[in-house]
Amino acid sequence: MKLYLRYLEILFKSQLQYRASFILMTIGQFFVPLVMFASIYFLFEKFGQIEGWSFFEVALCFSIVHMSFAISVCFMRGFDSFSKLVVNAGFDRLLVRPRNTIVQVLGSNFEFTRLGRLIQSTMVLIWALLNISIEWNAFKVATLIFMLIGGIFIFSGIFILGASLCFFTVQGLELINIFTDGSREISQYPLSIYKDWVKNFFTFIVPLGIINYIPLMYLLGRGPYNDILSMLTPLIGIVFIIPCLYVWKFGVSKYLSAGS
Amino acid sequence: MIKVEGLSKTFKVARRSSGFGEAVRSFFSPKFSEVHALRDVSFSIDEGEIVGYIGPNGAGKSTTIKVMSGILVPDKGECSIMGYVPWRDRVKYVKNIGVVFGQRSQLWADVPVMDSFELLRDIYKVQPANYKKSLDLLTETLNLGEILTTPTRQLSLGQRMRCEIAASLIHDPKILFLDEPTIGLDAMSKIAVRNFIKMINKEKKVTVILTTHDMNDIETLANRIIMIGKGQILYDGNLNNLREKFVTHKTVTVDYNENTSPLELDSASLLSWSKDRATYVVDIKKRGVSDIISELSAKLELTDVAVDSEPIEEIIIKLYKEHQV
């Protein structure tokens, strides 16, 4: 952990070297999701509601998914850009250092500029919460936090899976964006508006449904869901990362025996 | 200290001929062919040796270094270094080695060199007191003083290479792998790097394995060379033995007081001749150089004598030819 902070320090210093680019990127990252959010806003302006969901309820869902995504993309940037590390053989360098590969890949990159994205989605969250009447209690506060944590872990898991793919091929990596960006785009709306196969995919394959549907219903006081269970469902996201780590480990062993 | 036995490694390489149609075809059904990077490579290296590991491009040098530093797992064979199997005990093992890849930097480009060193200190968990000691020594011997506060990307190649070598020695490794450490350096930097390698080998008993294409590196540093070609070891031994085996001719150049006609000698051919200088190529298998010189001095009034043996490059080329690599 201490080592990771040292990595962050050096990355932060490096990124600050390019001041103009740093500021512009941060501002840009603020506006990218803002445009997406605006499109949701105009959609609701026209239709009023979608399948019984009001604008602010969807905004709540949107902000939670985007906050999780922003945080995980900050931390997981090393995995997100891992193909570069394989192509330029930087990964060889990591292997001759006496540390775990995961810490080192995490420490190889950090997108401080993605904080712009986080600020934007936090603002949407606050706006949404101010406009929805939720009877707050300790369970519900915990649920909200768990949803964020679960989301961060699921997105992180997807990033690790994508990076593991680089051990087998360095071609066709765009495919993984279907899972990262695609999952984010789809899960910014409550899952109930989609067809069954989409729902099933995002419940059983990439379990983003568990962070944005059941706990969301519970937060809004809808549906017959049990308090404790609803509160804990988002934590399944943490479990999702375990198989991803195993795939990573398998990938590393493959790399070792295949060479580059 | 290092024991390598029967290492073999085969890579699958995608093959395709040129042309657009071929590119499309290989996209759908790529053809692979096998490349034997290493075939049954064995050697052992003792503590404190400097070994030059040489061979043409693609001979398997880097593959061997990668296996020995735990980056690659061989298909067959054993490798035991300081009691570790590099790829199996990677984390424990790599603490004891330093690796410099001449063509790739291990320093963080955008921050001062000092920051990279401090991060490496934390990666290797070097005690502060030991860190200070190594850093002082490295700064002094590699003359890093002023460049430590410069961001890596602004360094010249020679300065960068000195920092790279320092970076791989911060944790006081027992073995140092240098993959082409002098590539692209100017003469001054090359000499500085060589002197330093000699110094740490002598003072700290660091075992050094270096690959290079620069035969001067080998001549000044390595007592022992291992030559590899097409994945097989072609020669392993002393540099002088190699010379003895392959040096068949020497050139003798003599200066003398004026003489009007060229002098023919037995077992030596006249390469060039002028009124006051002659150069002979002597076949040393047939006749000793000293014998030639004494004959010359009996017949001429010599003012100067110079004997040159073949440069090591030519010996290496002969060896390559002999093994057809």
* pLDDT above 60 for A172: no
**Chain A contact present for B72, CB below 8 A:** yes
Q: According to DSSP H, which parts of A167-224 are helical?
A: 175-187, 196-200, 209-212, 214-219
Strands (E), chain A: 49-50, 53-54
Q: Which residues of A touch B111 (CB under 8 A)?
A: 10, 13-14, 17
Domain that holds residue A151: 2-258
- Asked which of B243, B262, B283 is the last residue of a domain, the reply is B243
Out of A15, A89, A99, name the one closest to residue B91 (CB): A99
Mark whether B109 and B165 lie in a shared domain: yes
Q: Taking residues A196-214, what's their average pLDDT?
A: 82
pLDDT per 10-residue tile (average), chain B, 325 residues:
91 73 73 84 94 87 91 91 92 93 87 93 94 92 89 91 93 93 87 91 93 86 88 87 79 85 83 87 86 87 86 76 72
Domain residue limits at B267: 248-309
Q: Which residues of B touch A17 (CB under 8 A)?
A: 110-111, 151
**H or E stretch at B158:** helix B157-167
Query: Testing the interface with B: which of A85, A92, A106, A112 to mutate, by most B Cβ within 10 A?
Result: A92
Interface with A, mutate which of B10, B71, B85, B131 (most A CBs under 10 A): B71
User: Is B91 in contact with A93 (Cβ distance < 8 A)?
Assistant: no
Give tens-digit pLDDT for B296-305: 888 888 889 9
For residue A2, give the chain B residue with the closest CA: B122
- Min distance B106 CA to chain A CA atoms (Å): 7
pLDDT per residue as tens digits for the range A6-58: 898 899 888 888 888 888 988 888 888 888 889 888 988 888 888 888 899 99
Write down the pLDDT at residue A259.
56
Q: Which residue of B has its CA nearest to A13?
A: B111
Whether residues B193 and B55 share a domain: the answer is yes
B265 backbone dihedrals φ, ψ, rounded to 5°? -125, 155
- Which of B176, B183, B192, B180 is CA-nearest to residue B157? B183
- CB contact at 8 A, B266 and B288: no
In a shared domain, residues B276 and B229? no
Residue B10 belongs to a domain: no
Domain-located, residue B189: yes
What is the pLDDT, as a whole number, of residue B16?
A: 65
Q: Are residues B203 and B100 in the same domain?
A: yes
Whether residues B196 and B211 share a domain: the answer is yes
pLDDT tens digits for range B200-214:
999 999 999 999 888
Of B66, B110, B123, the CB nearest to A17: B110
pLDDT at A19: 84
B219 in a domain, yes or no? yes
Check whether residue B153 and residue B239 sit in a common domain: yes
Q: Is A10 within 8 Å of B106 when comparing Cβ atoms? A: no
Same domain for B234 and B95?
yes
d(CA B281, CA B271): 6
B302 lies in the same domain as B202: no
What's the confidence (pLDDT) of residue B325?
59
What is the per-residue pLDDT for A129?
92
> Whole-angstrom Cα distance, residue B194 to residue B200?
10
Last residue within a domain, chosen from B188, B211, B243: B243
Backbone angles phi, psi at A180, to 5 degrees: -75, -65
Q: Is A13 on the interface with B (CB under 8 A)?
A: yes
ipTM here = 0.82
Per the domain annotation, does B265 fall within a domain? Answer: yes
Q: Mapping DSSP to helix (H, G, I), strand (E, B) and coil, where does residue B123 land?
A: helix
Q: Are residues B152 and B265 in the same domain?
A: no
B223 and B287 share one domain: no
Structure tokens at A83: 């193909």
Please determine, for residue A260, whether its predicted confidence score (pLDDT) is greater than 60. Answer: no
- Cα angle vertex B29, ends A251, A87, to 5°? 40
B153 close contact with A: CB closer than 8 A: no
Quote the Cα angle for B128-B133-B137, to 5°: 145
| CATH value at residue B254 | 3.30.70.250
Number of separate domains in chain B: 2
* Alpha-carbon separation of residue B217 from A22, A238, B63, B80 (angstroms): 44, 54, 21, 27
Q: Residue written as tokens 């093992």? A: B93
Contact A95 B90 (CB under 8 A): yes
- Total tally of structural domains belonging to chain A: 1
- Give domain status of residue B319, yes or no: no
Strands B175-179 vs B97-101: parallel, antiparallel or unpaired: parallel
